[in-house]
Amino acid sequence: MNARILRFLLLTALAGLAACSGSANQVVPAGSGSAMSTGTLNFKPVCDQAIPAGSAQCLALVRTDVGGIPGGYHGVYGVYAESRSAKNSSPTGYGPSQLEGAYGLTSASSSDGSGQTVAVIEAGDYPTAAADLATYRSEYGLSACTTANGCFKKVSQTGSTTSLPAEDASWAEETALDEDMVSAICPNCHILIVEANSATVDNLETAANEAATLGATEISNSYGASEWASSASAYSHSGIVVTASAGDDGYAEGSEQPCSFASVVCTGGTSLRTASDSRGYTEVVWNDLSIGDGASGSGCSSLVTKPSWQTDKGCTKRSQTDVSFDADPEYGVAVYDSTSYEGYSGWLEFGGTSVASPSIASVFALAGGSSLGPDAAELFWQNAGTGLYSITSGNNLSSRGKCSTAYPYICTAGTNEDGVYSGPGGWGTPDGLTDF
């Protein structure tokens, strides 16, 4: 049985037990963040985890205690949400200035990225994409990015601007996250949204190829599925950097695709928190599995041959991941989405490795792109993370997960022979543009 379906059944059963007990809140083990310490599960996957064979799942997590939604259990996971009398009228979570400051991008972001087009691959139509993007950029004082000025474009998987797929409100939240992260990291970049007809792997691959045809310089894929193929043709284009999310389920035997393709920059997740040091922030591997589904993905591919530039010892095929970025919904990013889904709309707060993929793609764009294209991931391995903030603590294990004793670095930071590379954190997070 598919691992996602097993998690779905388990979480549904737990929610049902909590509801039958008469408890006002779902009782779960305490986490590490402020809201997590209350023992309340306060985030949920945007997309259904019980996906059919041949389809992929978007990897965004939305905070359930942010936005206008009545109290009680919501969605297929029975996630408890606190009552809110009104939708948020202002952002919560990290905005552009915080992300730029945390990752050393502040000085570069005001002038670079011109001439770059970051494409985000989605499933289904997000009808309010242009209007919601305008709201986000206006809130943060960013210049307008519209169809009229050539900055924004939304097309179907065949490139049509008029014949778009049917609306998918859950994936619309994913798309809102993606377009806002491109804006936050690379305000001068053009944004191309390519909407697949559905979340089948075939349609998403068609959309990815269309993005390359339409001139994208970077292509972000904030979705994944169990490995399905050893051919990476849809995710390998000359001169184009392709990124993909590592997954939100923690360590697993095997890897997530398209993230495990050697031609893809595989992006993991961290928990980014403010700190009283010279940087002003600290990061560890993101892991909320003690209270529910949520941790940076990692693993060893079962299909993809190990690239010659991967130097880790133990994982005999492609190691996941390469680089990471904030993904913890407890310390998440601000997003604006007026397309309501299960009562969530307006200013929302997101996490998941869906944050990491468009953000890392946009850092490459901010640096002017990379002529390496399908070999872009090699940069981090060649430089051994010297231009990145190292992630040396934390793991992505749950109580039901066991990591290989032969190569514990694939799930635990700080245990590799170099003390730097790990499966969930990769070589680290951006520290300026040097490594991009």
Helix (H) or strand (E) holding 234: none
Give the pLDDT confidence of 299-322 residue by residue, as tens digits. Answer: 999 999 999 999 999 999 999 999
Give the pLDDT confidence of 98-118 residue by residue, as tens digits. Answer: 999 999 997 555 558 999 999
The pLDDT of 152-173, averaged and rounded, is 97
Helix orientation angle between 169-185 and 129-139, rounded to the nearest 10 degrees: 40
The pLDDT of 357-363, averaged and rounded, is 98
Structural domains of the chain, count: 2
Q: How far apart are CA 108 and CA 120, in angstroms?
A: 22
Domain presence at residue 435: no
Domain presence at residue 368: yes
Q: How far apart are CA 436 and CA 425, in angstroms?
A: 17
**Burial (CB count <10 Å: 0-12, 13-18, 19+), residue 393:** middle
387 is written with which tokens?
Answer: 């231009």
Give the pLDDT confidence of 56-104 residue by residue, as tens digits. Answer: 999 999 998 876 444 444 343 344 444 443 466 789 999 999 999 999 9
Q: How far apart are CA 83 and CA 85, in angstroms?
A: 7
Radius of gyration for the chain, computed over Cα atoms and rounded to the nearest angstrom? 20
Q: Are both 299 and 351 inside the same structural domain?
A: yes
Residue 33 predicted with pLDDT over 60: no
SS3 16: helix
**Residue 347: pLDDT band with limits 50, 70, 90:** very high
Helix (H) or strand (E) holding 85: none
Q: How far apart are CA 244 and CA 219, in angstroms?
A: 9
| Strand-strand pairing, 79-81 and 152-156 | unpaired
Domain presence at residue 58: yes
**Residue 287: pLDDT band with limits 50, 70, 90:** very high
The CATH number assigned to the domain holding 212 equals 3.40.50.200
The domain boundary, picked from 23, 54, 81, lies at: 81
87 is written with which tokens?
Answer: 């939708």
| Sequence-ordered alpha helix ranges (H) in 317-368 | 353-366
For the whole model, what pTM was predicted? 0.88
User: Which residue range forms the structural domain that includes residue 22?
Assistant: 3-81
Query: What's the angle, vertex CA 196, arms to CA 332 and CA 179, rounded to 5?
Result: 30
Q: How far apart are CA 377 and CA 175, in angstroms?
A: 24
